[in-house]
Structure 1
Amino acid sequence: MSGDTSSRKVKRFSESDRGSDFDAATQKALEEIDVCQNEIDNINEKASEEILKVEQKYNQLRKPFFDKRNHIISNIPNFWITAIMNHPDLSALLDDSEEDCLHHLTKLEVEEFEDIKSGYWIKFYFEENPYFENAVITKEYHLGCATPTSESTQIIWKEGCTLGQISETSRGGRKRRHEPSKTFFGWFNDNIDPYTDDIAEVIKDDLWLNPLQYYLVPDVEGDGENNGMEQDDGSSSSDIEETGDDDENKSASQRGRSA
């Protein structure tokens, strides 16, 4: 942070600025502003350090409850796949095969690096399944360097199973190389740009913090039931039309007797 601040100060009030066209009063005022800004930057840097210590403290306080929560979740079949499928941003990732695969997901875990700002892990734990051999697959984010990077566990696919990839066929019928698709495992294997990884942020900052809210999303199917309730009195549009016809016939008969 201090490196960024110093570079901004040079741009804001460099030596060349001191010999510019400002009059003496303005020049003095600008120098005083620069001194104030230096103090503000120093305070901001100290604040970041203090905030980091607080975050580290509360991460340690939260961890036993995250562990306890995961232990309880392990007794609920299909908890994580249900929460994922109910999540508006994550459900769109899964095709049918991936949804079936994630029924074998037994635990999800997000763990920040000790200094928090430099990165985190997202870990997916699986029971034995027909798709791959790994018991745990991990995606690791390194954000505290000049060029952020991410790494993914190499998945050991079982014969005939390679989820998250598609093969395209050219016009000449020759297959092109496999390319990651917009699916869960396509995301998992994509390590191009960690800073634009919205899925990781959703998992880390939303799903992981409170998965229960998504597991308990009510079933919204059957919205058409209200339409049936509206006609519970036995009436219908055809009944109304018939009633109207009867009234007209009665009125015509009464007019005939009056004549």
Structure 2
Amino acid sequence: MASKCQSLLPPQKKKPRLPTAPRWEYTSGSQGLPREKEQQEAIEHIDEVQNEIDRLNEQASEEILKVEQKYNKLHQPFFQKRSELIAKIPNLVTTFVIHSQVSALLGEEAEEALHYLTRVEVTEFEDLKSDYLIDFYFDENPYFENKVLSKEFHLNESHDPSSKSTEIKWKSGKDLMERSSQTQNKASRKRQHEEPESFFTWFTDHSDAGADELGDVIKYDTRPNPLQYYLVPDM
């Protein structure tokens, strides 16, 4: 009977569950610091270590530069002796200019003028990576009066690459720059934005010295061993 009376009682409502309070996660060795603070401290330590790495990299660059400067001076008498020997071989200079990677950046109108090229010299200044001078020596020719055409590459005060070059003194009716300009005017607008195809266009262009591919090719590829292009001209 008692059980029947109990069944007539209204059902008891469940108490609502209170939201669980947020818990901080801890890791061993954190000494009670929240993970966020531990991560922030780790980031700060990483930054300190990275500064030390950068300092060592900068120190290494300075020492490497000193070594390069030392051996650049030791190279000079050998470059001079090689230039004297190259002068005894007809068209050796022209061969390594035209039949190397440089040829991809030359136009046909420049090839004949480059047959008068007798010597190419690269002079590296204190900052060997960015400051250098390229001298092109020419015999008497029907195109221009200059015996030497020079192009310099430097970092300016803002540490941006810059360049300058000798003014080419063209002979009457022989200005290859005018011919190149006329060719570009006839070309499509797309072609006008392609790489310059004339050696002389490259020589007088100073718009983007940092992307000067031909200067780099002469300095780093053809200069170290021009004989390879004379013996194997199609490589």
TM-score computed with the length of structure 1 as normaliser: 0.67
Partner of 2:19: none
Q: How does 1:1-259 map to 2 (within 5 A)?
A: 23-87=36-100, 89-143=101-155, 145-146=157-158, 147-164=160-177, 165-167=180-182, 182-217=197-232
Aligned Cα RMSD in Å?
Answer: 2.4
Q: CA deviation at 1:118?
A: 4.0
User: Does the 8 Å contact 2:99/2:234 carry over to 1?
Assistant: no
Tell me which structure has the larger Cα radius of gyration.
Answer: 2
Q: CA deviation at 1:156?
A: 0.3
- Corresponding residue SS for 2:150: strand
- Corresponding residue SS for 1:167: helix
- Label 1:169 to 1:152 Cα distance change in 2 as closer, same or farther (>3 A): closer
Greater alpha carbon shift after TM alignment, 122-131 vs 135-144: 135-144
Unaligned runs of 5+ in 2: 1-33, 187-194
TM-score computed with the length of structure 2 as normaliser: 0.74
* Alpha-carbon distance in 1 for matches of 2:41, 2:181: 65
* Alpha-carbon distance in 2 for matches of 1:51, 1:71: 30
- Corresponding residue SS for 1:131: coil
Identity score, percent: 52
- Higher RCO, Cα 8 Å, sep 6+: 2
- Label 1:201 to 1:22 Cα distance change in 2 as closer, same or farther (>3 A): farther
User: Does the 8 Å contact 2:154/2:162 carry over to 1?
Assistant: yes
Misfit runs of 4+, over 6 Å: none
User: Does the 8 Å contact 1:166/1:181 carry over to 2?
Assistant: no
User: Does the 8 Å contact 1:118/1:144 carry over to 2?
Assistant: no
- Corresponding residue SS for 1:75: coil
Unaligned runs of 5+ in 1: 1-20, 172-179, 221-259
User: Does the 8 Å contact 1:118/1:145 carry over to 2?
Assistant: no
* Alpha-carbon distance in 2 for matches of 1:33, 1:57: 36
